[in-house]
Chain A
Amino acid sequence: MAKTSWSRLSGLGLLALGLALCQPAWADMQAKLNVVGSALARSGQSISSLAVAGFTDAGSGDAALAKALEDGLRKALRRPGKFKVLSASADPSKAGALLTGTYSEQDGGLAVHVLLQDASGAKLPFTRDLVLTSDDLQAAGLSLPEGSVTVTEQEPLLVKPAMVDPYYNSQTIPTLAPSAPRGPGRPFHVDVSAGYKAFFPTNPSFSPWVGGRADGASVGLSFNDWVLVDADYWHANINGLGSVDGLDYFGTALAITYPLRLGPLTLYLGPGGRFADVQVHDTAINNDGDQASFGNNAFTAVAGAKLRYQKVGLDLRYAYDLVSSYTGYHTVRLGGFFEFGR
């Protein structure tokens, strides 16, 4: 008997909507610098190694804010994993290219002009302009130095149209644009995980046999956070069903998800399938090869969150069986993972 609960879909839809609407709350200085890093990674520049240095106040020549900007840009450039980015202490002259620029005060915030130079100091066809608002600066713990040049609306930023990268030509780069690195694009990686998965049966006749919850072990793979594959197992002891003394569950769960990357946090959502056996252990059946098992398959909806720290992280995932044979489940999986390939 197939069981359907489409009302749950509306809840998942609200979750997806919530994920979309929550984006502006994450706007910050690093997010805007990440946009620059992502744009450079996609610009097609062939760069063996890259240094970030030499930012100065366009008016005073002061470099009070340079360190914060340069550190943020290095971090942003390392995210795509495309460039070898030299550290702050390395000699910029030994890099194949230099990312540098100027900044100036604008409406209480900071207008930053970023440009790319080759090893000889010649300009390469990549520039970006971004505006860090006063809120951005305050959140980053920065304050404007005295003597900064104020840019009025009549004063154009230091951008020549011919040098504007075709990917982006706005003077003010909005945060969390669709092409930002917070989207699904990310260097290919595979997460190998192991964890605990709780199965809460939705069939009221079946649920009591497993005490309302079956505790399972789960191992899984995640391909770029787009394709999730788990292999799951649980066992339940059975009393009160004649000569039946236990149930074993072997299952494979597959999901296709859309990842929303928010720094170290990745949220994902998508449809999936569960293909499983519930095997019945009956002591009265003892002939070789005789076995009873139920095909316990389902179409599922999956939502989860991953929190990464370097190569490791935690993955919390919820799935609900929209349509199932014999019994559906709510499942909650908590696993640790190690990331390969990034």
Chain B
Amino acid sequence: MLAFGCADRGPTNLYSKPLFNQSQAGAQMSFDGNDSYLVAGTPTVLSLAIKNTGNGSTVGPITGSVSLTSTSCAVLGTVTASFGKSGQVINPGDVVYGTPMTVDFSACSGAEAFFALTMKDSRGSTWVDGFSTNGQ
């Protein structure tokens, strides 16, 4: 294989520090409201999406943990989801979808619910984001 004018490809930020002692920007995973949806019912089904808004890459799967609170309910609990496939490189701009999560809103009708989303990849990186809904 001949290589001419080679440029970096893929998640080099995962290795640049240990191999070459050079730091590169990492991934930044965030809640993606445009690609997430909620199916009302009892229980309600949440299907969340997260997006890499950083300049580096990470590797799936990403484990998401969602803690829910509400103004009118007691603690709603914590649910988890897995985002992306095992071994999948999540590059800047990529959107990955989580496994569906179920939440029981029956005791807090009409109230707004707050979600704190904590995301972890297999290499120990952690990202936190949050969002809210009216709990319909």
Contact = CB atoms under 8 A, between A and B. Distances in A.
B132 interface: no
Interface string A268-308: 00000001110010101111001111111100000000000
Contacts, number: 94
Given A241-B15, A275-B6, A294-B8, A327 B87 contact: no
Among A244, A292, A293, the most chain B Cβ lie within 10 Å of the Cβ of A292
A178 interface: no
Contact of B22 (A209, A251, A286, A326): A326
Dominant secondary structure of chain B at its interface with chain A: loop
A290 B88 CA distance: 7
Contact of B11 (A206, A292, A327): A292
B5 A275 contact: yes
Interface in B1-40: 1-12, 14-16, 18-22
B15 A292 contact: yes
B85 A287 contact: yes
Contacts of B7: 295
Contacts of A280: 12, 15, 19
Contacts of A296: 6
B10 A290 contact: yes
A212 to B, nearest CB: 15
A250 B59 CA distance: 24
A241 B18 CA distance: 8
B133 interface: no
A276 B19 contact: no
Contact of B19 (A206, A252, A286): A206
Contacts of A252: 2-4
B106 interface: no
B1 A241 contact: no
Contacts of B87: 284-287, 290
Given A250-B1, A251-B3, A285-B87, A241 B8 contact: no
B120 to A, nearest CB: 15
A204 B20 CA distance: 8
Given A284-B59, A286-B86, A205 B21 contact: yes
A285 B59 contact: yes
A244 B60 CA distance: 16
Contacts of A276: 3, 6
Contacts of A14: none
A237 interface: no
Nearest to B60: A287
Nearest to B88: A287
B89 interface: yes
B3 A275 contact: yes
A18 interface: no
Interface string A84-125: 000000000000000000000000000000000000000000
Contacts of A244: 15
B6 A293 contact: yes
Contacts of B15: 241, 244, 280, 282, 292, 294
B128 to A, nearest CB: 23
A249 to B, nearest CB: 9
Contact of B21 (A203, A233, A293): A203
A285 B89 contact: yes
A156 interface: no
A97 to B, nearest CB: 48
Interface in B101-136: 122-123
A203 B15 CA distance: 15
A287 B89 contact: yes
Interface of A: 1, 203-206, 209, 231, 233, 241-242, 244, 250-252, 275-277, 280, 282, 284-287, 290-297, 326-327
Given A250-B2, A291-B9, 5 more contacts: A275-B4, A275-B5, A280-B12, A280-B19, A296-B6
Interface of B: 1-12, 14-16, 18-22, 59-60, 85-89, 122-123
6 contacts: A284-B122, A287-B60, A290-B88, A292-B11, A292-B15, A294-B12
Closest 6 CB pairs of A and B: A286-B87, A205-B21, A292-B10, A295-B6, A290-B89, A287-B88
